[in-house]
């Protein structure tokens, strides 16, 4: 998960649990259900955020790959421009070489013709000189037909003409050889240019194929990016909807908590009113009884307990330090228990076992005696250690076991306050998972809030 999604999830969880910190330590079923729904939606939302962020990361990767392909296409385009320009240049060179070859072929033909013409002319001159000059040669001189000097001159002239013809013939032959060599050179150059053109055309074809492959891959990346963006948008819509659901559930939770707090306040007020009325009635009854009772009683001495100047005539338990010996019901349970019972058997063991977890944390909805639990989870797990199976909530535990009176309460009994529960451990003390700020603690005065019922499971 990215840092951003972690932050979003943390914010979501903080918002989900915002109301939990200020709630009293009780497990109302309506609030339990609302919080459970919030936890489920929050978990689903965290998964949706992870999926959305993964898609966004994938989109970034696809964009990078697409960008790299586009850069590659640009490179192919540049190479194609260079290759096409090279092909065009080679084509021009081939055309020029073909012109040169054509001209060379013409020159070669002319040289061959000149050579043949010169050779024919030379043959004719030689033939003429020998045929015409024969009558004036040495025989003519010997028979008196000409001067000897003329003959010599003709011989010299003939020799010079022969040398001239040979020189011309050699020149034409050499010219023909050079033209032929040039023609071969030009033909070789043309062949090289043709091969170069073929190579460049092959390069061009390969570049075009690579460019087309890159273009198709780029289009595929575009399709993937579009798909991922669409799915990411759907996840974002789901996340927004889940935020709305969580906020709605939080509002419902706040309403339920307010209603429960109002109910508890009303119950406490009614209990205080009933206690005050009961106390007033008891005081009136005691005053009336005191007025008709004698201060002395044969065989037993009574004390003036209420300071009204009369000795009280009802049973008094000095060890308890109070004049309440009868069970007045849970409404009058704010007074201390008349007799402090140490308990016996498994009840005392349960009370002792429960106290070893004092100081461990309170965790709403938890059931771990060491890592954290709420009030009903604490009671459930303590009794489970002794093979006694209790239900999970305070409201269902209030209907289990056997009901006992406040005056008969013993260590190991469970005191149910409606929205909270505790285990009585004796000496007017209870052990309970109080709230998130204090955790599991021992408290004085078992009747610190109105008691709904006391249950015995042993």
How many CA atoms lie within 13 Å of 277's alpha carbon, on the beta-carbon side? 7
Q: What is the pLDDT along the chain (458 residues), one digit of tens a residue?
A: 343 343 333 334 344 333 333 333 344 678 888 888 999 999 999 999 999 999 999 999 999 998 998 998 999 899 989 999 999 998 899 899 789 888 888 887 887 787 777 777 777 777 776 666 544 444 444 444 556 566 667 667 667 777 777 787 777 778 778 878 888 888 898 898 899 889 999 998 998 999 899 899 989 989 999 999 999 999 999 999 999 999 899 888 888 888 888 888 898 888 888 888 888 887 777 766 554 443 333 333 333 333 433 333 333 332 333 332 223 344 444 444 433 344 457 999 999 999 999 999 999 999 999 999 999 999 999 999 999 999 999 989 999 999 999 999 999 999 999 889 999 999 999 999 999 999 999 999 999 999 999 999 98
- Residues ≥6 apart with Cβ < 8 Å to 367: 373, 377, 380, 381, 392
**CA-angle at 234, arms to 232 and 236, nearest 5°:** 70
User: Could you give the domains of the chain?
Assistant: 3-260 (1.10.287), 332-458 (3.90.1720.10)
Asked if residue 263 lies in contact with residue 24, where contact means CB atoms within 8 angstroms, the answer is no
Q: E strands within 259-371?
A: 367-368
In 3D, which of 428, 434, 424 has the Cα closest to residue 454?
A: 424
Residue 284 exposure: Cα atoms within 13 Å on the Cβ side: 6
Contact between residue 129 and residue 161 where contact means Cβ atoms under 8 Å apart: yes
Residue closest to 457 by CA, chosen among 370, 385, 373: 385
For the chain, the distance separating the N- and C-terminal CA atoms, rounded to the nearest angstrom, is: 51
Rounded to 10 degrees, the C-alpha dihedral 333/336/339/343 comes to 80
Nearest CA to 288 among 307, 273, 310, 255?
310
d(CA 325, CA 407): 8
Note the helical H segments in 134-147: 138-142
Cα R_g (the chain), whole angstroms: 62
Question: How many whole angstroms separate alpha carbon 436 and alpha carbon 363?
Answer: 7
């Amino acid at each position: 998960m990215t840092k951003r999604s972690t932050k979003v999830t943390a914010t979501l969880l903080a918002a989900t649990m915002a109301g939990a910190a200020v709630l009293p330590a009780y497990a109302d079923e309506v609030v339990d259900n609302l919080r459970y729904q919030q936890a489920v939606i929050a978990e689903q939302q965290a998964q949706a955020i992870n999926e959305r962020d993964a898609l966004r990361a994938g989109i970034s990767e696809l964009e990078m790959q697409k960008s790299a392909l586009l850069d590659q296409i640009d490179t192919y385009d540049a190479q194609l421009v260079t290759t096409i320009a090279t092909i065009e240049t080679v084509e021009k060179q081939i055309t020029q070489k073909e012109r040169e070859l054509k001209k060379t072929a013409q020159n070669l033909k002319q040289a061959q013709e000149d050579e043949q013409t010169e050779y024919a002319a030379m043959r004719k001159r030689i033939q003429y000189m020998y045929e015409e000059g024969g009558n004036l040669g040495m025989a003519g001189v010997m028979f008196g037909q000409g001067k000897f000097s003329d003959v010599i001159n003709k011989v010299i002239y003939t020799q010079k003409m022969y040398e001239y013809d040979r020189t011309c013939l050699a020149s034409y032959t050499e010219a023909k050889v050079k033209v032929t060599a040039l023609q071969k050179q030009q033909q070789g150059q043309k062949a090289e240019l043709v091969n170069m053109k073929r190579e460049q055309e092959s390069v061009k074809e390969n570049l075009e194929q690579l460019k087309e492959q890159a273009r198709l891959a780029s289009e595929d990346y575009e399709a993937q990016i579009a798909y991922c963006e669409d799915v990411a948008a759907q996840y974002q819509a789901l996340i927004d909807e889940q935020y709305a659901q969580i906020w709605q559930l939080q509002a419902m939770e706040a309403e339920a908590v307010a209603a429960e707090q109002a109910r508890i306040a009303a119950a406490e007020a009614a209990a205080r009113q009933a206690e005050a009325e009961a106390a007033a009635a008891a005081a009136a009854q005691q005053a009336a009884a005191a007025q008709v009772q004698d201060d002395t009683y044969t065989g037993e001495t009574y004390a003036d307990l209420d300071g009204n100047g009369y000795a009280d005539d009802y049973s008094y338990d000095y060890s308890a330090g109070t004049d309440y010996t009868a069970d007045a019901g849970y409404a009058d349970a704010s007074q201390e228990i008349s007799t402090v019972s140490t308990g016996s058997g498994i009840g005392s063991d349960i009370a002792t076992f429960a106290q070893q977890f004092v100081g461990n944390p309170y965790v709403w909805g938890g059931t771990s005696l060491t890592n954290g639990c709420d009030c009903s989870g604490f009671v459930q797990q303590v009794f489970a250690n002794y093979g006694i199976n209790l239900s999970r909530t305070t409201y269902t535990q209030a209907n289990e076991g056997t009901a006992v009176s406040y005056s008969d309460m013993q260590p190991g009994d469970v005191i149910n306050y409606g929205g909270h529960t505790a285990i009585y451990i004796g000496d007017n003390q209870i052990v309970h998972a109080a709230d998130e700020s204090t955790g599991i603690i021992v408290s004085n005065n078992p009747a610190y809030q109105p008691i709904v019922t006391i249950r015995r499971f042993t």
